[in-house]
């Protein structure tokens, strides 16, 4: 059994038709669902967050980060 788990249910996720912790018998179907969800969430949600799929065993976790958040200090010398 494979699971698609959204790490943090933001407001946009809660308002959407998506379901958290979806279960799949097939790994490929779970991965495809996670990738499709991530793509739609990144394109259609409010753009406050960025979503990414991370595989952890039999769980495809959709991680959530604030957009523009990076390891850069913002001093302009990182690029």
pLDDT of 30: 98
**Cβ neighbours for 38, distance < 8 A, ≥ 6 positions apart:** 51, 52, 53, 62
pTM of the model: 0.80
pLDDT in tens, 5-43: 999 999 999 999 999 999 999 999 999 999 999 999 999
Provide the residue ranges of all domains of the chain, joining segments of one domain with +: 2-66
């Amino acid at each position: 059994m494979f699971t698609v788990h959204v790490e943090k249910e933001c407001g946009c996720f809660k308002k959407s038709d998506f379901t958290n912790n979806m279960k799949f018998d097939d790994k490929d179907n779970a991965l495809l669902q996670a990738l499709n969800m991530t793509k739609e969430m990144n394109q259609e949600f409010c753009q406050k967050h960025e979503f990414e799929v991370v595989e952890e065993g039999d769980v495809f976790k959709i991680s959530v980060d604030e957009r523009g958040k990076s390891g850069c200090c913002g001093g302009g010398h990182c690029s």
